[in-house]
A and B are shown apart, each in its own frame.
Chain A
Amino acid sequence: ELKVEQNPLFLSMQEGKNYTIYCNYSTTSDRLYWYRQDPGKSLESLFVLLSNGAVKQEGRLMASLDTKARLSTLHITAAVHDLSATYFCAVGGSEKLVFGKGTKLTVNP
Chain B
Amino acid sequence: NAGVMQNPRHLVRRRGQEARLRCSPMKGHSHVYWYRQLPEEGLKFMVYLQKENIIDESGMPKERFSAEFPKEGPSILRIQQVVRGDSAAYFCASSFTDSGETQYFGPGTRLLVL
Chain A interfacial positions (CB closer than 8 Å to B): 4, 30-31, 33, 35, 40-45, 48, 88, 90, 92-102
Contact = CB atoms under 8 A, between A and B. Distances in A.
Contact of A101 (B41, B58, B102, B105): B41
Given A30-B100, A42-B105, A95 B42 contact: no
Contacts of A44: 105
Contacts, number: 58
B25 interface: no
Given A42-B91, A88-B42, A95 B48 contact: yes
A92 B100 contact: yes
Contacts of A97: 33, 35, 43, 45, 103
B45 A98 contact: yes
B105 A95 contact: no
Interface in B44-93: 44-45, 48, 55-56, 58-59, 91
A43 B105 contact: yes
Contacts of B58: 96
A101 B42 contact: yes
